[in-house]
Amino acid sequence: MTVDVVQRLREKGLRVTRQRKVIYSLLREIGGHHSVDEILGLLVERREDIHRQSVYNVVGDLQQVGLVMCADAGPGRALYEASDHWHHHFVCRVCQIVLDVPCIEGRKPCLEPPENVASVIDEAQVIFRGVCHGCAGAKVTDTPAASISTADC
Ligand SMILES: [Zn+2]
Ligand SMILES: [Zn+2]
């Protein structure tokens, strides 16, 4: 696994540092979507001496080269995951679970804005909001909260 991680970083042209190795390995190992604070907590548990800002920098670097994706799961919740496969996300407004939603196009940007608002569109990330199957089964008061938001990370 470590060799693979080193290889992936090199393939993407990133200098291999201990912090990049550790954080990318961790995200791959645990899977799913995690905030910087969660990542930091896990690193501290593993006795890694690392600062919050360094975690931000590393996930930013990894995101830039396409090894990590950032999901905007709601106010202040930027979640990171090890994935090189572009996809969207669903966030349950009851339990806050974040689920992957496959992208039909599978490439960026999979949506074009209806108006000529910008010169370059890098990506369009759709956040589906609503109620997950689990919570729908457990009785929920129905207030419409579906919205589309763009990633802010
Ligand atoms: Zn739910
Ligand atoms: Zn995801």
CATH number at residue 64: 1.10.10.10
Is 70 annotated in a binding site? The answer is: no
Q: How far is the CA of 133 from the centre of ligand 1 (A)?
A: 7
Burial of 83 (0-12, 13-18, 19+ CB in 10 A): middle
Counting the structural domains of the chain, the total is: 1
Furthest-apart CA atoms within the chain: distance in Å: 50
In a 3-state reduction of DSSP, which class is residue 95?
coil
Q: What is the pTM of this model?
A: 0.80
Is 103 annotated in a binding site? The answer is: no
pLDDT at 93: 92
Q: How far is the CA of 98 from the centre of ligand 1 (A)?
A: 9
List the chain pLDDT tens, one digit each, 153 residues: 567 999 999 999 999 999 999 999 999 999 999 999 999 999 999 999 999 999 999 999 999 999 999 998 877 789 999 998 889 999 999 999 999 999 888 777 888 888 889 999 888 888 999 999 999 987 655 555 555 555 555
Domain presence at residue 147: no
Residue 27: which domain range?
2-137
Is 92 annotated in a binding site? The answer is: yes
Is 110 annotated in a binding site? The answer is: no
Tokens of 121: 């569109």
Domain presence at residue 149: no
Domain presence at residue 131: yes
Domain presence at residue 144: no
Ligand whose nearest atom lies closest to the CA of 34: 2
- Rounded distance, CA 30 to CA 110, Å? 28
Ligand whose nearest atom lies closest to the CA of 96: 1
Q: Are 39 and 55 in contact (CB under 8 A)?
A: yes
Q: How far is the CA of 146 from the centre of ligand 1 (A)?
A: 14
Residue ranges near ligand 2 (ion) with Cβ within 5 Å:
81, 100
Domain presence at residue 101: yes
